[in-house]
Amino acid sequence: MKDKRAQARRAQKVRQPVGVWLKPTLAALTLICSAAGLVLMMDWMQDAGHWPVHTVRVEGQLLNLDREALQQEIMPLAANGFFNIDVGVIQQRVQQMPWIDQVWVRRVWPDQLTVTVLEQKPVARWGDTGFLNARAEFFAPERPVELAALPQLQGPEGHEERVLQMYQRLLAMVDPLQLDIDTLHLDARRTWQVQLSNGLKIQMGRNDPEQRIARFVRVYPAILATGNGQVIAVDLRYSNGFTVRRQPTDEATRSTG
């Protein structure tokens, strides 16, 4: 009996080393096979031929952008396949296109790219062909665009926000006169000029333009009630007053100057 137990212990000691090296070996082989399979899977997933993008969907309310043309511009950016799409790069490229304010890009399984676009909303014209949005950011479409009821603003480069804010303040100030502002110009010498919706041109000068406009608004009804002819220009660049230029209404006055 003791001999049988001793033989069993000896047999167990002989078999034990096999278990000690076999399990780690199997684990290592499994890990190697998994890594190799992962590499093969990654290569397969990165092959654009296996995972092409068939659809580029452009979402958002578009007034000045052509949805189909925008899709055609974006499609080449997804040519490397669904898993190789660099969403950040596409978003950056689309953001630089005319009329694009904000853009969001996402992949939709299994073969679609969705681009959500927020179009620029111009609040004023800037210069000859450009516009400003509500944040005073300049943008210029590739082709001239006619948009009604936008004021014309102009000023040195880098002064967009200053001019837009001045326009908004002056617009509120002339509102009691039931007039709008058609143009506002800040020249290189930093002097202000404004033209109202009735054609009246106002020179405000360099200093305290808002105070000068406030003074003008107070006396404008009196200006209209006196004198002969339509008021076409006002110069507010004087410390204690202003000058008024009128357009004569009768032929005799016009002919004699």
- pLDDT score recorded for residue 241: 82
In the 8-state DSSP scheme, what is residue 64? S
pLDDT at 227: 75
Residues of the chain by 3-state class (helix, strand, coil), percent to 5? 40, 25, 35
**Beta bridge partners of residue 56, listed in sequence order:** 113
User: CATH number of the domain at 124-256, please?
Assistant: 3.40.50.11690
Token pair belonging to 253: 């006055």
**39 has pLDDT over 50:** no
In this prediction, residues 24-37 reach a mean pLDDT of 56
Q: Please say whether the structural domain 55-119 has been given the CATH code 1.10.3720.10.
A: no
What pLDDT, on the 0 to 100 scale, is given for residue 82? Answer: 84
Does 247 have pLDDT greater than 90? no
Confidence of residue 23 (pLDDT cuts 50, 70, 90): low
pLDDT value for 42: 47
All residues at 6 or more sequence positions from 133 whose CB lies less than 8 Å from its CB, including other chains: 101, 120, 121, 122, 123, 139
What are 147-177's pLDDT values in tens digits?
878 999 999 999 999 999 999 999 999 999 9
Query: Residue 245 pairs with which residues in a beta bridge?
Result: 233
The structure's pTM equals 0.75
